[in-house]
Amino acid sequence: MEVDEPLIIPVDTRVRFLITANDVIHSWWVPDFAIKQDAIPGFINTAWTRAEETGIYRGNCTKLCGKNHGFMPVVVKVVEKDEYNDWVLAKKEEAIKLAELTEKEWSLAELTQRGEGVYQKNCFACHQMNGEGLPPIFPALAGSDIVMFDKDRNVEILMEGVQGAAMQSFANQLSEVDMAAVIT
């Protein structure tokens, strides 16, 4: 299985992983690195590795952590140091461009189009493409009072998640622009 963004690390370099979770206990496992570490909400566990060969290394979550447990692959791409440095530079430039988007004057059409992309990437697995959800676990968004009339509560849910429910916080996953776009 593939992932949206593989973890990129440099070859022949000692790498420290800080492992935590937003929702439930997971267990981060990459057998070729001899690492299996629990990811626990509210705690940070550490693990170390030093990959001696470039390539793709695969693992998975080893905890039965929820309905999507079978779809939690781990993909680590080990690259040469020069390629890693180029990747870091590109990510920094990407972050600068993303920060600049907060200054842009967005038209409703632009924001709506961006919001559709954010929804497809982050929301539809639970709330479905049509927004009707899978009640009672994943409530419908289409026509709901929170979506239609209470933007402040909508932002609060995106930022903090919903305690005791499957809805996790997206505060560290979505930019301000993407949050504004997805609630538009």
d(CA 12, CA 52) in angstroms, rounded, equals 5
Q: 158 near 95, Cβ under 8 Å?
A: no
Tokens of 106: 């967005």
At residue 161, the pLDDT reads 84
Per-residue pLDDT of the chain (184 residues; tens, 9 = 90+): 788 899 999 999 999 999 998 778 999 999 999 999 999 988 999 999 999 999 999 999 998 887 766 778 999 999 999 999 999 999 999 989 988 888 899 999 999 999 999 999 888 888 888 988 888 888 888 888 888 888 889 889 898 888 777 788 888 888 889 999 998 8
Give the Cα separation of 26 and 19 in Å (integer): 10
Q: Which of 44, 41, 43, 42 is nearest to 16 (CA)?
A: 44
According to CATH, the superfamily of the domain at 7-81 is Cupredoxins -  blue copper proteins (2.60.40.420)
Spacing of C-alpha 131 from chain mean position: 20
Closest CA to 144 of 136, 156, 132, 134: 132
Find out whether 180 and 105 touch, Cβ atoms under 8 Å. Answer: no
Contacts of 56 (CB under 8 A, 6+ apart): 6, 75, 76, 77, 78
Tell me which CATH code domain 104-182 carries: 1.10.760.10
Which pLDDT value is given to residue 99?
Answer: 85
Q: Measuring CA to CA, which residue among 68, 64, 99 is closest to residue 175?
A: 99
Which residue is associated with the tokens 């996953």?
A: 173
DSSP assignment letter at 134: B
Q: What is the pLDDT of residue 171?
A: 85
pTM for the whole structure: 0.68
The sign of the torsion formed by the CA atoms of 33, 34, 40, 44 equals negative
Closest C-alpha among 155, 122, 165, 123 to residue 141:
123
How much is the pLDDT for 69?
A: 67
